[in-house]
Amino acid sequence: MRLEGKIAIITGGGSGIGHEACKLFAREGATVIVADRDLAAAERVVAEITGQGGKAVAHQVDVSKDAEVAAMIAKTVADHGRLDILVNNAGYGIAGTVVSTSEADWNALMAVNVNGVFLGCKHAIPVMEKQGGGAIVNTASAVANVGIFDRAAYVASKGAVAALTRAMAVDHVGAGIRINAVAPGTIATPYFKKILSGPDGAELRAGLEGRQAMERLGQPVEIAQAMLWLASGDASFCTGSVMVVDGGWTARGDRKPMNPRASENKA
Ligand SMILES: NC(=O)c1ccc[n+]([C@@H]2O[C@H](COP(=O)([O-])OP(=O)(O)OC[C@H]3O[C@@H](n4cnc5c(N)ncnc54)[C@H](O)[C@@H]3O)[C@@H](O)[C@H]2O)c1
């Protein structure tokens, strides 16, 4: 029970990595605020947790909206007296190069993936500071470290999350707040499971698995475990770290590029 008595907010808790993190944190003794734009999804996760004897409540939030994030933090403190852990995990990806991505799509993605982390931290840090400490875990991505084909906005957003994590860790270390990130590789979340069951699924799966040194997709719980470690006292000397959990994807120098036009780029 590494999180006994802790109060934890996990955004994007209704699906995928966030869902597994909510279940794991609750099993470790935390009271989990399952925060998601999709209230029904958050409520399903809460039912799962409470059905297994854990403590959780659902909260509807759009992490890109300042007033909604402020209200979520204020309600957590009003209802539970404190906030020990914030996992800024809500996020999404879109396809596109900088040329094909519209400004509206770029801004919408940045509002969730980057501003969502900024706003969560902006409102949680003063609370944690007042109570003498806390732990924040942000979800970056392995693509913060490598360029991938046709995902310009997403890659830029995750690079910003990694950089912001380091900047905030330095700013708030004196307040006893540890701020880290996880950088997952490609994980078998509902989104990937859906596209891999489509018509080009087999080819896509081979490409996605082949670029990770372990030649398989990660499981959401394998990312949740890293989040748990970073959020718990076990990581007491860890701040400003962007922990890569990617099956060796970014360590691998000989990965096959998933870029249909790469062969045209001859010297
Ligand atoms: N799946 C992967 O392979 C992978 C790899 C690296 C990083 N990530 C990152 O992990 C995080 C979780 O991804 P996932 O694959 O579990 O996704 P997912 O789509 O399964 O879950 C994301 C959840 O976030 C919620 N959400 C989306 N926008 C929101 C908003 N504005 N406010 C509140 N909630 C919102 C969704 O409703 C959903 O429940 C994301 O930040 C994603 O970029 C995923």
For residue 72, report the distance from its CA to the centre of ligand 1, in Å.
18
**The token pair that represents 19 in the structure block:** 């869902």
Cα(80)–Cα(239) distance, rounded to whole angstroms? 26
SS3 category, 32: strand
For residue 155, report the distance from its CA to the centre of ligand 1, in Å.
14
Around Cβ 155, how many Cβ atoms within 10 Å? 19
CA 253 to chain centre: 25
Determine the pLDDT at residue 97: 97
CB of residue 138 inside a 6 A radius of ligand 1: no
Cα(179)–Cα(166) distance, rounded to whole angstroms? 8
Q: List alpha helices for 114-215, DSSP H.
A: 115-131, 152-172, 190-196, 201-210
Determine the pLDDT at residue 136: 99
For the full predicted model, state whether its pTM sits above 0.85. Answer: yes
CB of residue 148 inside a 6 A radius of ligand 1: no
Angle among Cα 225, 135, 38 to the nearest 5 degrees reads 70
Identify the bridge partners of residue 86 per DSSP, sorted by sequence position: 9, 136
Show the domains of the chain with their CATH numbers: 7-245 (3.40.50.720)
Which of 187, 188, 190, 193 has its CA nearest to residue 245?
187
Please, what are the averages of pLDDT over each run of 10 residues along the chain (267 residues)?
98 98 98 99 98 98 99 98 98 97 98 99 98 98 95 98 99 98 97 87 90 94 98 98 97 74 57
For residue 138, report the distance from its CA to the centre of ligand 1, in Å.
12
Determine the pLDDT at residue 119: 99
The minimum-distance atom of ligand 1 relative to the CA of 12 is 24
CB of residue 212 inside a 6 A radius of ligand 1: no
Cα(100)–Cα(83) distance, rounded to whole angstroms? 41
